Structure 1
């Protein structure tokens, strides 16, 4: 066979696409390297139209005997990483075939579980940071009622912790550091569809009047810079 025909034969052999998520997470499913390669071989046969490769066929592509391949296949079936289904040909003949659906299901469940776990950790961290921010700004530990209010804003009113922190910042800027004022800010923001820090900042700047310059007091003391604020409680 000349080089041209060799290249054509190689191209016609085709390729298989291995999902990156499978490649980076198969070990978390308890799959060994040998089992992983066997799964890829089954996948390759399925892609080529051979839906039920024999242990001997698999053995020809691996450093395993047909018996060892059969044992591994049985183990993969028992661990619900691969399954055998019945199919019917166009002429009605019954046959068996492998499916990797259990593998994809387990991989999906693993990723969802990790995502939920990471989400819980991030939520817990945000809530801890939230309480810390409030105690730092108030200069004291929060009372049980204040802690309950914070929890209500997050759990019942579904305010994101970063939005609650933004409302706290707005109250500090306005010189109205109390929970009633912050609650009013959150109410106004939710009513007006404010969901991000950028939106909250823009909304506050739009309604907080700007006051520039200095004011003289009656005793001609040094000029003091005023701090403008938007009184949310008057809305």
Structure 2
């Protein structure tokens, strides 16, 4: 059967942002499978598929599906709404808006590059790679409101590969720079060197140091 013959089955649309960053939202791989199924049913007009129908499309049992749905409700990523049709019949539907609101917030904080002067979005970074260097670079660009230069990216890479700072420690140093309203890698580097001189190696140690010196 040719590819075009399969088009009669239709397509399911899923945000690339969700595919790239679902783990950053605290979702597991199996929860993403559930979301794909819910979207597939929803986009075909079936807004409250049974656990049996969902399980039939996966390797999950109906109990697995029920547990995953409850997990997502508890995480504030999914809700069940009551609906009323034109004939007054009451029903239910799954609502994934809480998930997409959380995704929107994540993208706004970590992916959108904004002008520090007026908070207007300059551009949306188009990379969907999640390696530590790219993720850190995006975060610096978001906070600085501009793209990093090639030399700045090399320095960022050196922090990870030569100095062996953890991404979490670098993010904390970035936060301290932003709080001081100094948008410079040199300033962040001075913060990191200061913490290194104090032999601070973990997030906990840095937090304790900062609390003592506020």
Q: TM-score, normalised by structure 1?
A: 0.48
The offset of 1:125, in angstroms, is 2.9
Partner of 1:124: 182
Aligned mate of 2:34, from 38, 61, 69: 38
RMSD of Structure 2 on Structure 1 (CA): 2.4
The offset of 1:113, in angstroms, is 2.1
- Give ranges in structure 1 of 5+ residues lacking alignment: 130-235
Partner of 1:106: 102
Q: TM-score, normalised by structure 2?
A: 0.53
Point out 4+ residue stretches in structure 1 off by more than 6 angstroms.
none
- Give ranges in structure 2 of 5+ residues lacking alignment: 115-138, 146-180, 188-214
The offset of 1:127, in angstroms, is 9.2
**What is the alpha-carbon distance in structure 2 between the residues aligned to residue 104 and residue 50 of structure 1?**
19
The offset of 1:7, in angstroms, is 5.5
Secondary structure of the corresponding residue to residue 22 of structure 2 = helix
1:98-117 Cα shifts (integer Å, max 9, x gaps): 01101110001111222476
1:45-85 Cα shifts (integer Å, max 9, x gaps): 00111110111111001111001110111101111111111
Which aligned pairs between 1:172-187 and structure 2 lie closer than 5 A? none
1:2-47 Cα shifts (integer Å, max 9, x gaps): x58x954x32220011111111000001101111011110010001
The offset of 1:90, in angstroms, is 1.1
Compare CA radii of gyration and give the structure with the larger one. Answer: 1
Which aligned pairs between 1:148-187 and structure 2 lie closer than 5 A? none
